[in-house]
Amino acid sequence: GAVVSQHPSWVICKSGTSVKIECRSLDFQATTMFWYRQFPKQSLMLMATSNEGSKATYEQGVEKDKFLINHASLTLSTLTVTSAHPEDSSFYICSAQGTSGFGTDTGELFFGEGSRLTVL
């Protein structure tokens, strides 16, 4: 099946620094990837849709200058949290929409393992 890998799985950084999280599709090409934020004991909040070769589409209320998304290839999307502050601490999850034969006909999503960001 389709595999999505996310790295790092956890990161601790100082306030004011920037952190990059990578999301890779390992065995398929993902033209579209999605980034979510999950608060403790809550559901996933879609932050943005990342399309290969074009600008990301951000959901209402998500600061695009704060959360930079780059989808430079068909297998890699990155989320950079710029000038991180303690309120940015959260669990960030990426997912990918598969290509033909990998669930595109059903709306199934393939998720990364998640990245826990703690900003001190």
Partner 1 sequence: GDSVTQMEGPVTLSEEAFLTINCTYTATGYPSLFWYVQYPGEGLQLLLKATKADDKGSNKGFEATYRKETTSFHLEKGSVQVSDSAVYFCALGFDTNAGKSTFGDGTTLTVKP
Binding site for partner 1 (CB under 8 A): 4, 6, 32, 34, 41-44, 46, 49, 93, 95, 97, 103-114, 116
Q: CB of 99: closest distance to partner 1 in angstroms?
A: 11
CB of 17 to partner 1, least distance (A): 23
Nearer to partner 1, 50 or 75 (CB): 50
Residue 86 or 107 with smaller CB distance to partner 1:
107
The helix or strand, by DSSP H or E, that contains position 99, with its residue range, turns out to be: none
Strand locations in the chain, DSSP E?
4-7, 10-13, 19-25, 32-38, 44-51, 57-58, 67-73, 76-81, 90-97, 109-111, 115-119
CA distance 70 to 82: 13
Q: Which two tokens stand for residue 69?
A: 């998304």
State in angstroms the smallest separation of the CB of 93 from partner 1. Answer: 5
Nearest distance from C-beta of residue 33 to partner 1, angstroms: 8
Measured from the CB atom, is 20 or 116 closer to partner 1? 116
